[in-house]
A and B are shown apart, each in its own frame.
Chain A
């Protein structure tokens, strides 16, 4: 008994000492909502994995908070007149964490790996590259099957992350167990579901902008526990603060809350023509889908479920995106119009709609509010809650009428549209097919200037809101909370945590 007492006492004293102790060699501790999957940019799929890469793996290009593409490992790029090749100049004096020099050969090897590794998830992103030519130590030419306006933006994410060709060749598909990139921090250790530790890379090309000795990422799934850890000082920063916890975080004078609207979306996808279940009133008649859209008060939805922290939306881009079609603002609720459309479609007394929804708190809350709103117009929504893997399988197999689902978003507008609504789109679970839509979205892929592309997307969005194979509801806002000793953090719409020029001031 006495020993236990002594142990308890020592433990408590230790805790007090720790809580008060200052930190010099600063290890930045960041809590993530879930554990990352395999740490190989060519194989990984999770959002949190990308947060880890933001500190560990540099990309050919990066984005600004306004979605402009800027140099990172590539210092410049130029598209040929026919749009069929891109000449890229590369940063000099860059080395990978294992000492392998970064050069044109390394870029060529990386592109080859992304395109040919059996396990690669990046194949579709780099499909347009047919070959690479090393034209100098720090210059490479990418030959394309045809003009591809989306390619450079792809290189601003995992497809553009450069891994050490030496390490990749040696490890093959097991590269993720010990990743070697060229970013500001190098991989130190990982304990599954516990932590991922990165330490500062002294030979980093931009080492002067890095002010932490190490970064530890800790997966803490429960939002309340994540915030409690931040308030108790066990962590320095957390990502994805729950919207409902914002007031609590803001009331703590030691914390800072920052946010950025993501470029993804959440909405309802309809089964238009996917198997037998596509043959239903909701899939057959766009007026019903329009009626549902008019019955939803998107601003109220945002207020009720997210305390107004998210961005109400009606397009595949958020209203603050440069690609948003501003001539089609978020409609206000119009129950008369909704009822008129239902009557016109032959359902003056309303009708039923079954929507499958992931069985987690947020989507369920959103759909319950939508259900109540739709009921006012006579639409009787029945919610079927499913575990995510099941929902996805049913949606892909066409075993659904409507599905509450979202998309994490891509830098280039193509990624938020083309795969979902073009006839041969890879994830067109609606099996929506419209010749005009195909023409517009295929055209936007090859159009040479941003202005021309914007025109095509504006037109596509007009058509999209008329047809509504996807009905958009809102855009998630990334919310970070961090200790106010941390200075210089910039929120980005991609939800990443970039540590360049971030400092710690006690």
Chain B
């Protein structure tokens, strides 16, 4: 099992929009390596004939009738927003100058 590299952590951090310092990249690379190593033991136990599990319960086709249920009020919906304007969620600039 090859180790998780610093570059891979940097890539993940970028995708997750997390700003990590140099020493944090090293630190998390080691930690992620341990975690993945632990999870990898599962594949030692599971043979080819065991399909990957995405859901713990053997359920299918849980569906909902197409019936309208009450929504939150705009005030409730926006109550957790750090900023709002015109009854909308206000978010920082999306594109920087380029």
Do A and B interact?
Answer: no
B: which residues have CB within 8 A of A? none
A: which residues have CB within 8 A of B? none
